[in-house]
Amino acid sequence: MRHKIAQRHRAQFHIRGKYIRLALLILTYIDNSHCFDVYWNIPSQTCQKFGIYINASQYGIVQNTDDVFYGDKVSIFYGPGKFPWIENDVPVNGGIPQNASLFDHLEMFTDEVTKKLPKDFKGVAVLDFERYYPSYDMSPVEYKKSSRAWVKAMHPGWTPSQIETEAINTFNETSRDFFEILLWKGREMHPEALWGYYHYPYCHNYGPQGYQCKPEIVVHNDEMSWLMEASTALYPSIYIFKDSGWDPISRRRNALVRIKEAIRVRRNIGKNIPILPYFWYRYHDSTDYLTPLDITNTLGLSKVMNLEGIVLWGSTYDLQTEEMCLQFKNFLEEKLGPVARYVSRYSRSLLTRVINSRRLLKKFSMSALREASHNINHVVP
């Protein structure tokens, strides 16, 4: 009798287990209706000269056709147009916005976009200019000095207070023009593309205890709301650090603060534009590749926070030799790709449980790697 009772309990337990797994599967697909795209913004086309092709699309990653850098899905413009800037105290293109040509700036950018983007481009379009901000207070000291000198040359009889006030006003007004006009022109040329500046909004929460954005940066983000309003996507940076007191939890919290600031800015401008954080596959303070656990912690966090996706970034410095390309290809196929695919198809509710548990986080990462080694598709129970 006891044997029959035990058998019946085992059968009931087995049936309940099947229903639980089925419910989790259903939850996964229902909760996964929100689109989460992983974009490839890595110059891996460089490796083709060594006969090495990096196929990121096999992991569901949005990659340009033929892995070209300026392509049909993702493009980034470094130093777009003809921004003025200062290099080793030497002015380039006028040095400061007050002393530069907005017409030349727009003309050069228009030519760049025409040459580099397909006519029907609808993808990620990122502008990257980091020499200074469209804000006098946030910009490096050499731009403040040059702005004051420019005003003093025009008004030699003014007091230091008058010069400072005019330097602030003219820098803010003209730098806004230089930043904003490229967004408007980009939207005019490719209205369905996702235009925005890399790293905006900023946070400056550097250090393992950076659990909030610097208050003055939050204020400046509000003052620069016009930049976010002119954008059709936001591209904050969630690059993470490895050493000097960092651990997986502090890395995740650091990235979370930046994501929350982008969400706050988007809410304040009243436009439901995509937030696509920039994610580097290396640590910011090390040449090491990210561990599967840290990939999950940041990539997965972006999905948990209900963002629209993430942009994977890399540098040509990491892909200069055949050996470097082979190392990166192995990293993609053995770690980055499988984890990115897992994160993309995993439900937000289950992923939330995963990243909040060290045990589940480790299990999730290892399951992705096992799938890569066995080349099979399954859902982690």
Report, as residue numbers or ranges, the catalytic residues: 130
Q: How far, CA to CA in Å, does 72 sit from each of 88, 214, 249, 316?
A: 37, 37, 37, 20
Q: Which two tokens stand for residue 217?
A: 């940066």
Q: How far, CA to CA in Å, does 32 sit from each of 6, 7, 303?
A: 39, 37, 10
Backbone angles phi, psi at 125, to 5 degrees: -130, 105
Q: What is the Cα–Cα distance from 177 to 189, expressed in whole angstroms?
A: 18
Identify the helix (H) or strand (E) that includes residue 375. none
- Considering just the CA atoms, what is the radius of gyration of the chain in Å? 24
Backbone angles phi, psi at 226, to 5 degrees: -60, -35
Q: First-to-last CA distance in the chain? A: 34
CB contact set of 310 (below 8 Å; sequence gap of 6+): 36, 37, 38, 39, 276, 277, 278, 279, 299, 302
The amino acid at 96: I
Signed CA dihedral, 323, 326, 328, 330: sign only: negative
Q: Which two tokens stand for residue 351?
A: 């992923």
Q: Which two tokens stand for residue 266?
A: 């988007």
Q: What is the Cα–Cα distance from 83 to 61, expressed in whole angstroms?
A: 32
Identify the helix (H) or strand (E) that includes residue 193. none
Residue with structure tokens 């990293």? 331
CB atoms within 10 A of CB 12: 10
